[in-house]
Chains A and B, each alone.
Chain A
Amino acid sequence: MEQLSMEQLNVIAGAIMITIAALAGGFGNAMVISRFIEGVARQPEARATLLVQAILGVALVEVIPIIAVAFGIMKVLNIL
């Protein structure tokens, strides 16, 4: 097998970072939203307050994968 160049390795590294970030972010958001739906099913009148909390929760969860994606993109585009 021929040697991969540093540039190609960077692309692979970025791709792995984005993959894991997407997986983890998906599971994290799924947990928040599933609890939100459970809460609404149990107490439909609390939907408005729960929605704000759920969106805030998603935004807070989403950040760590997004940071990983940003660094992954920087790796792929070779800026970092």
Chain B
Amino acid sequence: MNRKRMDKTEKLSFQLGEIPVVFDIPVMIATTVAFLVVLALSLLAARNLTMVPTGLQNFIEMIIDFTSGIVRTNMDEKTASRFYGFAFTLFVYVVVSNELGLMFNVVTSEGNHQNAYAWWKSPTADINAVFSLAIAITLFAHLLGVIKSPKLYLREYFKPYWWMFPLHIIDEVAKPLTHGMRLWANIFAGEVLVIVLLQMNWLFAGAPLMVWIGYSLFVGVVQAYVFTILAFIYLSQKISTHD
């Protein structure tokens, strides 16, 4: 049975002692490109700063205002000011990563079409890249909680009753899991449907493809917003709630 399937991706794999380590090369390429795009955007916007912003500076200031609003709704003013940079970086990076894979695709094939390799995709359409973001944010939140007060941090696990401890552990594990999967599933489903539509006759698939790509652009921005909001909800739970 010859069914259509997704193109394979080139892997970089080696043994680290007993553990096999596998890196997905398209994800590495796309992550680097996303990082460079964010860096270039910020550097270009920060050139020729004026008091009355115009053009790109105006646009970036709008985004900073927006992300700072997200932080302010979750934390008090004094703590919030430390996180403005983090919120902006996280939001812009996730937006750029979400939209990267929608622009074009690079496929190389040797000989027949069975050995086609894809070289370009959204980094957030790969579950490992997304989980690394989510787990890093969770570790950061726990670290901030411990630094603030180890005693209060531990006490949170035994509230309101001591036997609630297992439920808190499940909660802490489920948080990064759903946080990462939320982003990954949306972007992955979007890209897969684009691939499926591209394999159909353009006469039937042309209009749905355009609609779907437009919707995917919208979903990419909304999911980046949700990802940032949830990151700050988890952060604020660890540093603001104990009293």
Contact = CB atoms under 8 A, between A and B. Distances in A.
Instruction: Give the interface size bracket for A toward B.
Output: 10 to 19
Contacts of B184: 70
Interface string B23-43: 000000000000000000000
Given A7-B1, A63-B186, A77 B226 contact: no
A22 to B, nearest CB: 12
B189 A69 contact: yes
A56 B229 CA distance: 10
Contact of B5 (A59, A60, A77): A77
Given A7-B1, A59-B223, A63-B182, A79 B6 contact: yes
A55 B1 contact: no
B146 interface: no
Interface of A: 7, 55-56, 59-60, 62-63, 66-67, 69-70, 73, 77-79
19 contacts: A7-B1, A55-B222, A59-B222, A63-B178, A66-B186, A67-B182, A67-B185, A69-B189, A70-B185, A70-B192, A73-B188, A73-B189, A73-B192, A77-B3, A77-B5, A77-B192, A78-B3, A79-B5, A79-B6
